[in-house]
Amino acid sequence: MKKLLVTGSSGLIGSEVCIYFAAAGWKIHGVDNNQRAVFFGPQGDTRWNQQRLADRIDGFTHHEIDIRNREGVLDLMKTVRPDAIVHTAAQPSHDRAAAIPFDDFDTNAVGTLNLLEAARQACPESPFVHMSTNKVYGDRPNTIALKELETRWDYDDDIYASGIPEDFSIDQSKHSLFGASKVAADVMVQEYGRYFNMPTCCLRGGCLTGPNHSGVELHGFLSYLVKCNLEGREYKVFGYKGKQVRDNIHSEDVARFIHAFVDAPRVAEVYNIGGGRDNSCSILEAFDIAASFSGQQQVYTYVDENRVGDHICYYSDLSK
């Protein structure tokens, strides 16, 4: 039986990957220490998801390891010797990163390096899939000509009619500290692929969503928005008139993509993975969509100052 090692296994994408690969007959090893609860408080707690995996997956093995623990990561990789690695563990909030810069960089950049080097030593032939982020492009997408529509911003340049491609520059822009730590990880994943000829892959995600997301205000836009709507809670809109646009992709579709890459791996690949233009919405449009299901209008306040390094409009070019 093939073995899969998933970091951040109690998170949205990690747990979806565990369930998906288990259904395909893989033995699942999950790595998670519930750091999301440390970063975001009780609402970010993912122990419920860890228990869900234990209940649903026969033979699921949980490893309570912090990916910043270099020796622990190396020992685990040499013990398990997985046939594939899916790395989803991260400090995921660009707002939170400014308050905890060392925790952010040590988790996102150094933790990724720990995993890459452990994989190189223990199982260099095993595909290594890294969940990167569209924040590696910094605020450079904001330099594209935009047009303001009634409920959203959109690109006013035919070159980007299908969205942001993988060869869009990640240089000389404001990323947030989170974006910078993820750039470091992203480039290192590519470098281990090219330098050591390892089958590595970076998935630069748009807005990833699904039913098992522990969404909070600082991370998990769509999950948190729907939660606020259902509970009648106030949602804060930060800048851009609430017309900022994101593309949304279901966590199961991300897992399907990862499975396809593991089946046919390549060296040092990069993919923008999101819902694309057809599955994009602004915050105002998301309010209306949620209300159409719940029957409740969203309670919200508007803060004129946008989040640092935030995208005005972003959706993924999926042509690659």
Tell me the three state secondary structure of residue 123.
Answer: coil
CATH 3.30.1490.20 fits 3-143+161-213+248-276, yes or no: no
Termini Cα distance of the chain: 32
State the CB neighbour count (10 A cutoff) for residue 55: 8
DSSP-assigned letters across all residues of 229-257: HHHT--EEEESGGG--EEEEEEHHHHHHH
- Residue 46 structure tokens: 């993912």
CA proximity to 181, closest of 109, 100, 110: 109
Return the CA Rg of the chain: 19
Q: Please give the chain's pLDDT, 320 residues, in tens.
A: 999 999 999 999 999 999 999 999 999 999 999 988 888 888 889 999 999 999 999 999 999 999 999 999 999 999 999 999 999 999 988 889 999 999 999 999 999 999 999 999 999 999 999 999 999 999 999 999 999 999 999 999 999 999 999 999 999 999 999 999 999 999 999 999 999 999 999 999 989 999 888 888 877 889 999 999 999 999 999 999 999 999 999 999 999 999 999 999 999 999 999 999 999 999 999 999 999 999 999 999 999 999 887 899 999 999 99
- The dihedrals phi and psi of 149, each to the nearest 5 degrees, come to -105, 180
All structural domains of the chain with their residue ranges: 3-143+161-213+248-276
Position 303, amino acid: V
The pTM (predicted TM-score) of the whole model is 0.95
Task: Say how far apart CA 215 and CA 126 lie, in whole Å.
Answer: 31
Element of type H or E holding 306: none
Element of type H or E holding 62: strand 61-63
